[in-house]
Amino acid sequence: QIEGHDGATLVSEGIDANYMDMINYSVFGLIKLEFGE
């Protein structure tokens, strides 16, 4: 059960990857809200 989402399987990269995922997801969401309509 070492399937990390986005292929981030290393623990050392996992934290940074999750952080970047949250930031990217937030930015993507904001952009979609701004220009989605």
Where do runs of H (alpha helix) occur along the chain? 11-35
CA–CA dist 21, 17 (Å, integer): 6
- What is the residue range of 22's domain? 5-35
pLDDT in tens, 1-37: 555 555 555 555 667 778 888 998 999 999 888 887 6
The pLDDT assigned to 35 comes to 86
Write down the pTM of the prediction: 0.45
Count of structural domains within the chain: 1
Q: What is the pLDDT at residue 16?
A: 79
Q: What is the Cα–Cα distance from 6 to 35, expressed in whole angstroms?
A: 26
